[in-house]
């Protein structure tokens, strides 16, 4: 495999799996050339160029609205233009294979590759596939899914394989000792409860955590690590106003997340597909508060799946108060056998070699 082109965007849940695939391909083919098609204003435009030697190209595209709208006519027009532009880029870069990891930006690139007879693979991260995946599954040589329960939505796919989420492969090499050191907790073996709502944070989770801060001193043998999100950090520090207990660490963002996760005993946060991949790869029990603002309410579907396997507890955002959250956390932290059982069940669901399995599949369709 000499050249691979990736496409996916909109959220980190589509971008980071693509980059995990890129890293796995590089481990097997150190001289591989990698390109990426995204949008100029999407999150991928900031993340991908910082991720190593990857050529970054852009197309202009927008997603479909879920209701009947004249705007959808513009979307179709932009899709046609983006497919034409993608064909030009593909002829220029000459990839051996094109991989789409979701988000509407991946549609033109994968469809253009199909029309040019270039092998294609698409990867779906969530339990309920998005519109782009459902559309592309008819054309892609392989459709890879993170959850077996996604298969009922993709019966029209040419070839369907269960690989897991490649993001899982990125976290299995985390170093717990480094993670504790980065938090200023080196030399301690106390369990860590990690609160994280994504890179930008989640205001409802922040509010619930703030409500329960006074009660954290009731568990002095537990460290609480509270990731506020960068845009909320100063406000949270102001509202705490020196009232944080000694066993609470408040940080705006964590850059070495694999190391911190390796040291985590219980995670509290959203239920994005990449988050679930990380939790199951490492066997971390969790309390999930799915975002109700995402397409198809897919985070709740993700969370309910993990809860159904006994690996997580779910609190809906509208039910997430400080009292409710503290009840769940304190109950689990006082019951190490239950916590361990949830962790074991999470680990049994993990696919830590997902990225390597995907590279195997890429090799197959490139033959």
List Cα–Cα distances, 226 to 58, 171, 232, 269, in angstroms. 36, 20, 12, 10
Which strands form 286-288's sheet, in the order they lie side by side? Answer: 248-251, 223-227, 192-196, 266-269, 286-288, 312-314
DSSP string, 165-200: -THHHHHTT--HHHHHHHTT-TT----EEEEE--TT
10 is in an annotated binding site: no
Which residues of the chain form beta strands (DSSP E)?
3-7, 33-38, 54-58, 97-100, 120-124, 142-145, 160-162, 192-196, 223-227, 248-251, 266-269, 286-288, 312-314
**Any binding-site annotation on 34?**
no
Interstrand relation of 3-7 and 33-38 (parallel, antiparallel or unpaired) = parallel
Q: How many CB atoms are located within 10 Å of the residue 248 CB?
A: 19
Cα distances from 116 to residues 12, 49, 87, 295, 331, in angstroms, run 28, 26, 8, 30, 57
d(CA 195, CA 174): 18
CA distance 211 to 364: 53
Cα–Cα distance measured from residue 182 to residue 256, given in angstroms and rounded to the nearest whole number: 8
126 is annotated as contributing to ligand binding: yes
User: What does the block give as tokens for 262?
Assistant: 């390796």
Chain-centroid distance of CA 317 in Å reads 19
Residue 254 known to bind ligand: yes
Q: Is 331 annotated as a binding residue?
A: no
Consult the annotation and say whether 182 binds a ligand.
no
Report which secondary-structure segment, H or E, holds 228: none
DSSP string, 308-323: HTTSEEE--GGG--HH
**Residue 253 in 3-state DSSP?**
coil
- 309 marked ligand binding residue: no
Distance CA 313, CA 160 (A): 30
Residues annotated within a binding site for UDP-N-acetyl-alpha-D-glucosamine? 11-13, 126, 199, 254, 299
Specify binding-site residues: 11-13, 126, 199, 254, 299
């Amino acid at each position: 495999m000499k050249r691979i082109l990736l496409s996916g965007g909109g959220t980190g849940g589509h971008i980071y799996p693509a980059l995990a695939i890129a890293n796995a391909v590089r481990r097997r083919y150190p001289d591989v050339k990698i390109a990426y098609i995204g949008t100029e204003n999407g999150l991928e435009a900031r993340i991908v160029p910082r991720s190593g030697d990857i050529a970054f190209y852009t197309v202009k595209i927008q997603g479909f609205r879920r209701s009947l709208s004249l705007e959808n006519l513009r979307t179709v027009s932009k899709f046609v233009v983006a497919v034409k532009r993608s064909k030009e880029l593909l002829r220029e870069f000459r990839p051996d294979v094109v991989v789409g990891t979701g988000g509407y930006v991946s549609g033109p690139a994968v469809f253009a590759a199909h029309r040019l007879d270039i092998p294609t693979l698409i990867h779906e991260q969530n339990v309920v596939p998005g519109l782009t995946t459902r559309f592309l599954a008819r054309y892609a040589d392989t459709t890879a899914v993170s959850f077996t329960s996604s298969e009922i939505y993709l019966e029209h796919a040419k070839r369907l394989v269960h690989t897991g989420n490649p993001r899982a492969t990125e976290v299995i090499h985390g170093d717990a000792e480094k993670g504790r050191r980065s938090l200023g907790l080196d030399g301690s073996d106390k369990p860590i409860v990690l609160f994280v709502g994504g890179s930008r944070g989640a205001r409802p989770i922040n509010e619930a955590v703030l409500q329960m801060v006074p009660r954290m001193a009731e568990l002095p043998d537990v460290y609480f690590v509270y990731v506020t999100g960068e845009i909320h950090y100063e406000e949270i520090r102001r509202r705490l106003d020196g009232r944080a207990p000694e066993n609470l660490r408040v940080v705006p963002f964590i850059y070495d997340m694999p190391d911190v996760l390796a040291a985590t005993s219980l995670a509290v946060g959203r239920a994005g597909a990449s988050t679930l991949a990380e939790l199951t790869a490492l066997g971390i029990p969790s309390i999930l508060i799915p975002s109700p603002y995402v397409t198809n309410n897919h985070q709740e579907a993700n969370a309910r799946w993990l809860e159904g396997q006994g690996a997580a507890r779910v609190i809906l955002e509208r039910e997430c108060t400080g009292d409710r959250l503290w009840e769940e956390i304190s109950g689990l932290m006082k019951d190490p056998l239950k916590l361990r059982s949830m962790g074991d069940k999470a680990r049994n669901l993990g696919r830590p070699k997902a990225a390597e399995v995907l590279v195997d599949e890429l090799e197959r369709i490139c033959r």
